[in-house]
Amino acid sequence: MIFKRSFAGGCLLVLLALAGAVPVAADDGGAAEPPKVELVLDVSGSMRARDIDGRSRMTVAQQSFDAVVDALPAETQLGIRVLGARYRFPGSSKALGCTDTQQISPVGPVDKARAKAAIATLRPTGWTPIGLALRAATRDLGAGETTRRIILITDGEDTCSPPDPCEVARQLASQGTHLIVDTLGLTLNDKVRQQLTCIADATGGTYTAVQHQNELTGRLNQLVQRAGTTYKRTPVKVAGTAGCADAPTLAPGVYTDRERFSEHRWYRVTVAPGQELRASVSVSLDRTLNLDHGVLLRAVSGAGQELVRGTDAGSGRTDVQSTGLRWSNQRPGASPSPDGGSGGTQVCLVVSNSFSAPASVRTAPGMPLELTVDLAPSSDAPGGPDLGRGWLLLLVLAGTGLVAGLVTGWLARWRVAIWKEN
């Protein structure tokens, strides 16, 4: 993929009705259940370290949790699970400490005051049974056809294997549970990074290293908001191609695909006259990348002419993970364009990326991306320069200027006359 959205998740709008071609269709039945997210927080003894903005890792995590709870969308059901919160390390039996995970707020509509009070009482004490906590969090979220998210915040690797947390993540992914695990690391330790990247990679989630309070709060809010934008439909797997001619035709919906480094991935959509294409793409960074990277989304005509490119193109940013675009097929009532026939205009969507990684990082499979596809009635776009539409405004401005000049001149002459009399 290439330059970023912000999606907000991540979304790609695509409606295609190519002559005779049956479009790939996402599940459009919607979801009867609300979005479900569980935050899993490490409360092990190492969270006492005071190396994030001069405060302890635990304090920073608690304050970020409070901000997330305050900003929680009304429809999102949130649960909170902790690990290492009861048995002291050292001091208690490790066998007992490695069973230490508990849910302090059940998945459901959140009582914000109670949730924040429960978070405030946490004190870092114990071991780090991440694998066990992931299994328990999966049970907390339950089964269903829509995607659920676990957001794991930790500063260390699992100290209680087995079960190995990476193997647990692989098992959960292989069961088709529609579960995504996003991981946030509060330390730059390489072993921790490798383990958290492996967990995220196995489930199509993301890994983020956090060094400051605002980074943790911002990323947590982003992930919780993303859960609300992707739960409604089970994402459909689709395979983009190396060119538009044989690209899959997509109907409105949510899709998942993978893209290799520096690859271009093509999809097709047909936009009828009077319709507006709204497309967005979001890429999950599931492994270590070199610093400068980006995601780019472009809409291209069937003849190869670029129609529009993603909103972040040309912004100068070098950390773009998601981006979106809008393109209207002329104006309402316009006749179909020649390359679209009676069904509308064929538009090719191209997802590109400028990712690269250190030599030790694998490049296959490609980076996971999420596309959301939609069409909407075309909104009026301003035309080119048109003085005809501006005559009335021009006359008003000219008249106002004339009156202001006359009044100013009269006042100046009046002041001079008064001054001479005195």
> d(Cα 14, Cα 267) in Å, to the nearest integer?
8
| CA-based nearest residue to 126, from 57, 40, 44, 41 | 44
- Encode pLDDT of 64-111 as tens digits: 999 999 988 888 899 999 998 887 766 678 888 899 899 999 999 989
6: confidence class by pLDDT, cuts 50, 70, 90: very low
- Encode pLDDT of 128-182 as tens digits: 999 999 999 999 998 776 778 999 999 988 889 888 898 888 787 766 557 888 8
| CA-based nearest residue to 262, from 193, 388, 351, 165 | 351
Whether the CB-CB separation of 216 and 182 falls below 8 Å is answered with no
* For residues 253-277, average pLDDT: 86
> d(Cα 278, Cα 275) in Å, to the nearest integer?
10
389: confidence class by pLDDT, cuts 50, 70, 90: very low
Is the per-residue pLDDT at 392 higher than 50? yes
Q: Which residues contact 176 (CB under 8 A, 6 or more apart)?
A: none
Is the per-residue pLDDT at 410 higher than 90? no
Please state, in angstroms and as integers, the Cα–Cα distance from residue 52 to each residue in 60, 66, 76, 174, following that order.
Answer: 7, 17, 29, 36
* For residues 207-224, average pLDDT: 88
Lowest mean pLDDT among 135-139, 202-206, 243-247, 358-362: 202-206
Q: What pLDDT does 88 receive?
A: 74
Is the per-residue pLDDT at 246 higher than 80? yes
Is the per-residue pLDDT at 381 higher than 80? no
Type of residue numbered 367: M
Q: What pLDDT does 207 receive?
A: 84
**In terms of pLDDT, which residue wins out, 310 or 314?**
310
Q: Which residues pair with 257 in a beta bridge?
A: 369
Q: Cα–Cα–Cα angle for 69, 72, 78, nearest 5°?
A: 75
Q: What pLDDT does 391 receive?
A: 54
User: Which domains occur in the chain, in start order?
Assistant: 36-230 (3.40.50.410), 236-377 (2.60.120.380)
| CA-based nearest residue to 150, from 44, 56, 226, 256 | 226
The H-or-E segment that residue 412 falls in is helix 391-421
- Would you call 390 exposed, middle or buried from its count of C-beta atoms within 10 A (0-12, 13-18, 19+)? exposed
Considering the chain, what is the average pLDDT of its residues?
78
Q: What pLDDT does 397 receive?
A: 74
Within 13 Å, how many C-alpha atoms sit on residue 18's CB side? 19
